[in-house]
Amino acid sequence: MVKEERLIKIGNSQGIRLPKKIISKYGFRNLVFLEETQDGVLIRAAQSEKLNWEDTYKEMADSEQGEWADWQNMDYT
């Protein structure tokens, strides 16, 4: 998607306004990363050091992959 936006004056600098839909879609918060590329500027959401529940679950599941093999050999009687 290509969307045209005007530069706006912010103090002695200039900036752009991002639509709320884009801010929500990409998880932008108070801090973003700007990366200069050959084609322009890439804006990325800053990753929080805190894991959310989904990431925590995935990390736990990945770390416990081989730990359940012993359960197959248990005597349940």
Strand partners, 41: 36
Taking only the tens place, the pLDDT of each residue in 30-50 is 889 999 999 999 999 987 666
Flag whether pLDDT at 58 surpasses 90: no
Tell me the domain boundaries of the chain.
Answer: 8-66
Label residue 76 by pLDDT band (50, 70, 90): low
What is the reported pLDDT for 48?
66
Integer Cα distance of 43 and 52 in angstroms: 22
More confident: 61 or 77? 61
Tell me whether residue 15 is exposed, middle or buried, using C-beta atoms within 10 angstroms of its C-beta: 0 to 12, 13 to 18, 19 or more: exposed
The reported pTM is 0.53
Do residues 1 and 7 lie in contact, with contact meaning Cβ atoms separated by under 8 Å? no
Mean pLDDT of all residues in 55-70: 69
Across-strand partners of 43?
A: 34
State the DSSP code for 1.
Answer: -
